[in-house]
Amino acid sequence: MANTKADHWSSEKYQNAAGFVPQLTTKVLEYLSPQPGKRILDIGCGDGQLTTSIASRVTETGQVLGLDASPSFIATAQKSNTLSQLNIELQDCTKLDQHELTNGDWDKAFSNAAMHWILRAPETRTSFFGDVYRALKPGGRFVFEMGGKGNCAELHTAFTAALTTVGDLSLEAAREASPWFFPSVDWMRKALDDVGFDVLVCESEYRPTKSTESRADGSGGLDGWV
């Protein structure tokens, strides 16, 4: 089922503000280990840069399906795609059960720098992992990277403070208004365990990242990243 929400993303602006994201994937790609002939699902594929790299590794004997809720991202990814083994589709990644995915036919599922957006709503946190689990073959692998507890803590604190003082929201309401969900390692382990995953590695890594330069159109710097 395609996404019907308003698209607040811009592929061009994202590349200006967060073009470093696909470049910081050495470890997570080692865990994924794309091999020829494998079928891999990329959840929250964005503009498809990393998805294309994965698809090139599975070769024409494999298949990669990239999903994202942003028409802007999907249009960019589809326009640049030249690989027969790569398909890019518009999909609300909070509702994977609305797509013909959960049939246990995928070798691996992957997500990079997207799940802190996907898991934003509390109800999604209870359904998303089950959907991914059902998408995988027995013994399939789910590899992902996302923002964790403490990520951009100063910005998060300032955001919450502004909503409680200027916006006159309660502290609880201000926290729930955050556009991100940054869980702890313990939370994530339990969420994965609860749906049946055998967790091999779940770790938090401190990774300071320098923001890009601010731009007049708001597509760079901290404001562009937000």
pLDDT digit string, tens, across residues 46-82: 999 999 999 999 999 999 999 999 999 999 999 999 9
Phi-psi region of 138 (alpha: psi -120 to 50; beta: other; left: phi over 0): beta
Rounded-to-integer distance, Cα 15 and Cα 169, Å? 33
Residue 97 has pLDDT above 80, yes or no: yes
**Order of all β-strands in the sheet with 63-68:** 86-90, 63-68, 39-43, 106-112, 136-145
Residue 33: predicted pLDDT: 97
Return the higher-pLDDT residue of 207 and 209: 207
Rounded-to-integer distance, Cα 135 and Cα 4, Å? 23
Residue 23 has pLDDT above 90, yes or no: no
Q: What is the mean pLDDT of the chain?
A: 85
What is the arithmetic mean of pLDDT over 153-171?
82
In the chain, where the domains are located: 11-148+183-225
Percentage with pLDDT > 70 across the chain = 80
Q: What is the SS3 assignment for 25?
A: coil
Residue 3 has pLDDT above 70, yes or no: no
Rounded-to-integer distance, Cα 226 and Cα 220, Å? 10
Does CATH place domain 11-148+183-225 in 3.40.50.150? yes
Rounded-to-integer distance, Cα 158 and Cα 32, Å? 35
Question: pTM of the entire structure?
Answer: 0.82
Give the pLDDT band (50/70/90) at residue 16: very low
Beta bridge partners, 64, equal: 40, 86
Query: Which one, of 133, 115, 136, 134, lies nearest residue 46 by Cα?
Result: 115
